[in-house]
Structure 1
């Protein structure tokens, strides 16, 4: 099994949707308060490394997902490469990426004070 040691991704906090532009496929954040539709996308961004190495890793992650027939797109977002998957495929994608050796950084909210 191929693994990517020390690869850590985090889920971008907002949902995204596809937009069609003359130069091809793009995404835009879904504004707060707008209901997420069936074609809502989830963005996963690599925490490290940066630069060309990040693009290589994100492309390998996309390939790993295509191996299990999960569609994904690699696009620039917030100044770096991001991997976008359909929200209905998020659990499958993150589970497979974890099996591939990728750590998924998750946010935790404190529900009760200490």
Structure 2
């Protein structure tokens, strides 16, 4: 069975940017009050699978995005592999991943219907 179809990812709430001199290799969080710029990155993290099983899945996801020429990098963040894409490419990336059978966990607010 295809492991991508069993994968669930979510977007980390923090925005990132490439660390000076380490584009494609290291990121740093952008302060909450920081200016939004064209070079802002979003991080997509696997909810499942996790641990050592996450790395090969993230590399497959990265390849799927590379196939449609969406620049991305798989780097460790918060102790887990994360897929970093440019903010402008986030919708194309999530659309591509959904087409590969990856579930995208999205936050929602519970509203009382009464």
Q: Quick check: TM above 0.5? A: yes
Q: Which runs of 5+ in 2 are unaligned?
A: none
Higher helix share: 2
Which residue matches 1:96? 96
Answer whether contact 2:5 2:100 (CA < 8 A) is retained.
no
Q: Indicate yes or no: 2:74 matched with 1:74.
A: yes
* RMSD, aligned α-carbons: 1.7
Runs of 4+ in 1 over 4 A off after TM superposition: none
How many residues end up aligned between the 2 structures? Answer: 111
Answer whether contact 2:61 2:97 (CA < 8 A) is retained.
yes
Q: Which runs of 5+ in 1 are unaligned?
A: none
Higher strand share: 1
TM-score, normalisation: structure 2:
0.89
Which residue matches 2:20? 20
TM-score, normalisation: structure 1:
0.89
Q: Following the alignment from structure 1 to structure 2, what is the Cα–Cα distance between the partners of residues 78 and 35?
A: 23
Answer whether contact 2:3 2:57 (CA < 8 A) is retained.
no
